Amino acid sequence: MATEKELIEKAVAMLDLSYCPYSKFPVGAALECEDGAVFTGCNVENASYGLSNCAERTAAFKAVSEGHRKFKRIVIAGRCEDFCWPCGACRQVLNEFGPGMEVICLNAKGEAAHMTLPELIPHAVDSIWLGN
Ligand code: THU
């Protein structure tokens, strides 16, 4: 199992791999799964802006596509003054695989805000809601 400090270091390191020539807003993420596997991600933008992908979803899709479907916690790093909160779309995607997961958001100073996903997205759409 990774320590929180290790996850933070991985998320911060991903800031340098971010491809964000349009927004110039780098985001890095480190996602830990219940089995201990860790997947990193960064935002990847596109000249067709709407095709851009957030750091959290990059990490989530890497994990699921490698067979890891139970998420435990995620660290999200940014270089902004405020904590780097996940966008609404990423909250919903994380909820699919980690409805009770921990979300740790960093600001430029490296300070951390600890939240749970249910705090960030109450009443998320899930399979029960769909009747599946
Ligand atoms: N971004 C993320 O990667 N994660 C978030 O939760 C917020 C937004 C990215 C998307 C875009 O590349 C840039 O930050 C500005 O919105």
Q: Give pLDDT tens digits along the chain (132 positions).
A: 899 999 999 999 999 999 999 999 999 999 999 999 999 999 999 999 999 999 999 999 999 999 999 999 999 999 999 999 999 999 999 999 999 999 999 999 999 999 999 999 999 998 887 787
Helix axes 88-97, 55-65, angle to 10 degrees: 20
**What pLDDT was estimated at residue 63?**
98
**What pLDDT was estimated at residue 122?**
97
**What pLDDT was estimated at residue 13?**
98
Rounded distance from Cα 56 to ligand 1 centre (Å)? 9
> Which of 4, 56, 102, 111 is the catalytic position?
56
Ligand 1 atom at minimum distance from 55 CA: 3
* Lookup result for tokens 């609404």: 88
Rounded distance from Cα 90 to ligand 1 centre (Å)? 9
User: Checking DSSP bridges between strand 112-116 and strand 102-106, what pairing results, if any?
Assistant: antiparallel
- Per the structure block, which two tokens stand in for 49? 């802006």
**What pLDDT was estimated at residue 129?**
79
Tell me the residue type at 123.
H
Rounded distance from Cα 16 to ligand 1 centre (Å)? 14
Ligand 1 atom at minimum distance from 27 CA: 3
* Lookup result for tokens 């800031």: 15
pTM: predicted TM-score of the whole model, two decimal places: 0.97
Tell me the residue type at 118.
P
Active site residue 34: no
